[in-house]
Structure 1
């Protein structure tokens, strides 16, 4: 569980007066607290759920950074990228594209999918197996390429 690690890292960042580190860590802590207190959620958050939360945080910041760059706001874009760096440290190691391609090829073979019409089924299976280890957008692109 990364909750206790995050608390310790926040203390270190406060002592070091590292604002970029502090912003990223506080974002993680807030997202985890929100998930814990959500209606219908169980008390404990699994590592899989933590991983999904971290992926979501990174995705949000990537999108924001892209928008800021398009608008010529490099100052805001840099802040988002600093937070991405901090959050990424707590995510499971991401697989290489070649590894993802071979796993997806195996999923396609096992499921018997033969056309792009079955793309949704394959993406669902791939997302389950690769949860937290690969970006959903990349998974979709690879599935589409392999089924085409």
Structure 2
């Protein structure tokens, strides 16, 4: 079942259960998917990688917005963004723990043959593709930097 079909089913379930906040979040996800499909020229829809990128971007936006609202003392808006982040996170692949991420990065470093900090670009290129949606880009960069500086 595609992501779009899954979200359509979840929208129907949220409507029947009268979950207004969840319904709003799901409609935002569906809207982003439809917008991305029309930008690409339509066709058969988005592939799985494009869906993950789209959801990761939306989740990151919600997370950053929630942090901003917290700083500004707007707990009501921060709570709304946090809830939407949780709804979006349901559709993302499970995030790697820091230990799992370090192991993956070490494997990539040995695969690429990186020797030091000057090879960070090589490692990041491969790591970003292999770990897309499984870990935050900042976290990947931090672990790569630490691993190469040893």
The bucket for the TM-score relative to the shorter chain is over 0.9
Ranges in structure 2 where 5+ consecutive residues have no aligned partner:
none
Is 1:2 the counterpart of 2:3 in the alignment? yes
Ranges in structure 1 where 5+ consecutive residues have no aligned partner:
none
Which residue of structure 1 lines up, in the alignment, with residue 121 of structure 2?
Answer: 120
Which residue of structure 1 lines up, in the alignment, with residue 97 of structure 2?
Answer: 96
Aligned partners of 1:120, 1:71: CA distance in 2, in Å? 36
**Bigger mean CA offset, 88-97 vs 52-61:** 88-97
**Bigger mean CA offset, 110-119 vs 85-94:** 110-119
Instruction: Note the alpha carbon deviations across 1:95-115, whole angstroms, 9 max, x for none.
Output: 222111111101111111122
- Number of residue pairs the alignment of both structures matches: 148
Is 1:28 the counterpart of 2:29 in the alignment? yes
Q: Decide whether aligned partners of structure 1 residues 124 and 41 sit closer, same or farther in structure 2, where only a CA change above 3 A counts.
A: farther
Q: Which has the higher contact order (CA 8 A, sep 6+)?
A: 1
Question: Please, what TM-score do these two structures have when normalized by structure 2?
Answer: 0.92
Which residue of structure 2 lines up, in the alignment, with residue 107 of structure 1?
Answer: 108
Q: Cα RMSD (Å) of the superposition?
A: 1.4
